Amino acid sequence: MLHRALLAVVLAFAGVAQPAVPDTVPGRMLTAWLEVFNGGDRDALRRFDETNWPSGVKFLDQDVTFRKVTGGFDLRKIEESTPARITALVQERDSDQFGRLVLDVDAAQKISAIAIRAIPRPAEFPLPHLSETELRSAAERDAQQAAAADRFAGAVLVAKDGRTVFARAYGLSDREHSVPNTLETRFRIGSMNKMFTAVATMQLVQAGKIKLDDTVGAYLKDYPNADVASKVTIRELLSHTGGTGDIFGPEFATHRLELRTVQDYIALYGKRAPLFEPGTKNQYSNYGFVLLGAIVEKVSGQSYYDYVRDHVYRPAGMTSTGSEPESAAVPNRSVGYTRDDGPWKPNADTLPYRGSPAGGGYSTVGDLLRFATALQGNRLLDAAHVAMLTTVPPDSKNPNYAYGFGSYDKNGTRCYGHSGGAPGMNGDLEICGNGYVVVVLANEDPPAAGRVSDYITNRLPER
């Protein structure tokens, strides 16, 4: 089965010299499959599958979508070759992402399986660190090419020590009325709201009003599930190790316009038991951040929305960020566009009533730079609590996630931040140790913004 879990980033790697492929049945099949897959012709791919990979026909729709997402693959290295299997390193043509491709053949000399797994970029294929001047040109070229190929509509901002290095908007905010995106366009940011929830929670920790190792029940006295109330800690909610599960699925689809407050989410999902023993593993949990929002409300005496407005947005100078209901007239809020195999269409029938502590609010690239600057300048939290929020603890169940912030190595530079994505929305904020901040927001499906952000962040100057 062809695996579709490759993470996307941006821009084709041009001019790659193709390695020699062994003249074996798997080698010939690999060459032929890459050619037809990269060609992007659905009928040609179906004919190939019918002749060479009969069990792959059922994945045809997925393969066509996968081809659109990746742009195809360049063969970079043959790792292993036997009469029945070939293993190769490939790179997405529309990104920096590498994958390991394994192709097996059976006794009838037909393909029995193709699997592609995303892997970290091998050290033998380093990406260049650009000068600031080179980075500015490369960022503009990459985003413009993505926009021209209808893979990106949104805004990009790169800053160094608070100074804007590059800022530009692309594509349309409203396709029906031909309204262009600008640097002031408010984009829906999905799970990037989690950063604001995490900061709000840590502010109350810093103030001594919340303890990280207290349980949910210490604050939500009438929480309906006893195991969640007595076992899941604040620390586990922040690190996605509480087993509190998701909010999306059939129940959300049925009730999405009824979920108007944090308490509405608890009424719908609060009776569920933990999915696993809290603290034993990492599993991304949108509902866990809804619970953090409820705890912020209980401890502060304010609604979640009022608290983050007063204690996060205003101190940071964020005047264009919020989670107003979708029914409200919000100036400069873009229309989100989604598509499967057809044309772009508005994402209105997928949106919640309003953003929540788990995600779904809106912001601008400028406001997110202000947020990053306030965080770095200790205007939202003191230095010790910023470090706690953004540094992965030694006993973490996820080496790339701290407390409401991702934290990882980007081509040798430590960065922290958060991405967000859902139909018709995608965004990413990267706050990097070399003084650079990268913000990319899009009003299109993932990985529109993520690809542009990764392309830039992977090539930042070393200092």
Question: What local confidence, expressed as pLDDT, does residue 342 receive?
Answer: 82
Helix axes 193-206, 383-390, angle to 10 degrees: 130
Radius of gyration of the chain (CA): 23
Q: How far is CA 419 from CA 189, 362, 410, in A?
A: 8, 13, 14
Do residues 224 and 230 lie in contact, with contact meaning Cβ atoms separated by under 8 Å? no
Percent of the chain with pLDDT over 90: 94
> Average pLDDT, stretch 402-425?
97
Is this model's pTM higher than 0.85 or not? yes
Question: What local confidence, expressed as pLDDT, does residue 18 receive?
Answer: 78
Query: Which pLDDT tens digit goes with each residue over 346-390?
Result: 999 999 999 999 999 999 999 999 999 999 999 999 999 999 999
Q: How far is CA 233 from CA 121, 229, 230, 265, 407, in A?
A: 35, 9, 8, 19, 21
Going 237 to 240 to 243 to 247, the CA torsion angle's sign is: positive
pLDDT higher than threshold 80 for residue 14: no
User: Which residue has 């396709």 as its token pair?
Assistant: 175
Query: Which pLDDT tens digit goes with each residue over 264-285?
Result: 999 999 999 999 999 999 999 9
Question: What local confidence, expressed as pLDDT, does residue 11 receive?
Answer: 32
Going 25 to 31 to 32 to 33, the CA torsion angle's sign is: positive
Question: What local confidence, expressed as pLDDT, does residue 16 receive?
Answer: 54
